[in-house]
């Protein structure tokens, strides 16, 4: 059984015409960077792994996590975390509740509150728990969204230009946070980026589509 995330002869077509063809393996804790021109199908490939591919796209081939075929598993049973460039926070929840949503079920109220406080500290947003997400800057919201995904303890992590809205310093901090967390938890990461510095920081292999 191959530990990690495997893409085996994945072919994605749009309206019957092949868009991309890729085979790759991402060992636990490592990052595979996916680069390629706009429109080549990078985000669509991530949707396939999530189990969220929609018409007009079709796919053949296999995505497997720790040797287990993901086909047939609904998205919520895949335990694959996805982070976009645009942080999608729940607008009717405050920042703390957005983070708490990522936490696995269980634990006491006090434990959950402590976990949220620790998470806020890790992203440099101490005291931001009661804030309305609409009052956050783009970079602050991006950090909350990233931390919410990490708290959900995904078994694989898909990042779609996740650092695009951050300034250089924050970008470096967030890269370190996410790559260190993935390494520590043994989580394979697919990183879609146009930024060669992201790829260099990720340190793993890279594939170029198109």
- The secondary structure of residue 85, as a DSSP letter, is S
Q: How far is Cα 130 from Cα 142, in angstroms, rounded to an integer?
A: 17
Interface region with ligand ATP, contact rule CB under 6 A, candidates 39-47, 69-77, 99-107, 176-184? 39-47
* Smallest separation (angstroms) from ligand ATP to the CB of 20: 8
Asked if 85 touches ligand ATP (CB under 6 A), the answer is no
- Give the whole-angstrom CA distance, residue 80 versus residue 173: 23
- 43 or 152: CB nearest ligand ATP: 43
Distance CA 100, CA 121 (A): 14
CA angle 172, 102, 32 (to 5 degrees): 45
- If the CB atoms of residues 125 and 189 are measured against ligand ATP, the closer one turns out to be 189
The answer to whether residue 112 forms part of the interface with ligand ATP (CB under 6 A) is no
CB of 185 to ligand ATP, least distance (A): 26
Q: Does 56 bind ligand ATP (CB under 6 A)?
A: yes
Which of residues 40 and 170 has its CB atom nearest to ligand ATP in the complex?
A: 40
Tell me: does residue 58 bind ligand ATP (CB under 6 A): no
Contacts with 107 (C-beta within 8 Å, 6 or more apart), sequence order: 115
- Asked if 16 touches ligand ATP (CB under 6 A), the answer is no
Q: Which stretch binds ligand ATP (CB under 6 A): 34-42, 109-117, 145-153, 199-207?
A: 34-42
Ranges of beta strands (E only) in the chain are: 5-14, 17-26, 31-35, 57-65, 68-69, 80-83, 156-160, 189-192, 206-208
Among 3, 8, 11, 14, binds ligand ATP (CB under 6 A): 14
Q: Which residues contact 124 (CB under 8 A, 6 or more apart)?
A: 143, 173
Which listed residue (38, 106, 108, 110) binds ligand ATP by CB under 6 A? 38
Of 14 and 131, CB closest to ligand ATP: 14
On the 0-12 / 13-18 / 19+ scale of CB atoms within 10 A, 178 is: buried
Using CB under 6 A, list all residues that contact ligand ATP.
Answer: 14, 38-44, 56
């Amino acid at each position: 059984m191959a530990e990690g995330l495997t893409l085996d002869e994945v072919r994605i077509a749009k309206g019957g015409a092949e868009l991309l063809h890729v085979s790759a393996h991402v060992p636990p804790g490592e990052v595979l960077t996916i680069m390629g021109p706009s429109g080549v199908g990078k985000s669509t490939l991530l949707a396939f792994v999530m189990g969220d591919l929609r018409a007009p796209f079709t796919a053949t081939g296999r995505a497997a996590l720790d040797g287990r075929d993901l086909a047939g598993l609904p998205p919520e049973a895949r335990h694959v975390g996805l982070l976009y460039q645009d942080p999608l926070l729940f607008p009717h929840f405050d920042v703390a509740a957005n983070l708490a949503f990522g936490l696995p079920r269980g634990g006491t109220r006090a434990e959950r509150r402590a976990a949220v406080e620790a998470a806020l500290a890790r992203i440099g947003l101490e005291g931001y728990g009661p804030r309305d997400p609409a009052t956050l800057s783009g970079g602050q919201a991006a950090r909350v969204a990233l931390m919410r995904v990490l708290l959900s303890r995904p078994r694989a992590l898909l990042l779609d230009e996740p650092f695009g809205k951050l300034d250089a310093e924050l970008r470096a901090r967030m890269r370190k946070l996410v790559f260190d967390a993935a390494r520590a938890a043994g989580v394979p990461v697919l990183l879609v980026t146009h930024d060669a510095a992201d790829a260099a920081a990720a340190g793993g292999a890279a594939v170029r589509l198109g």
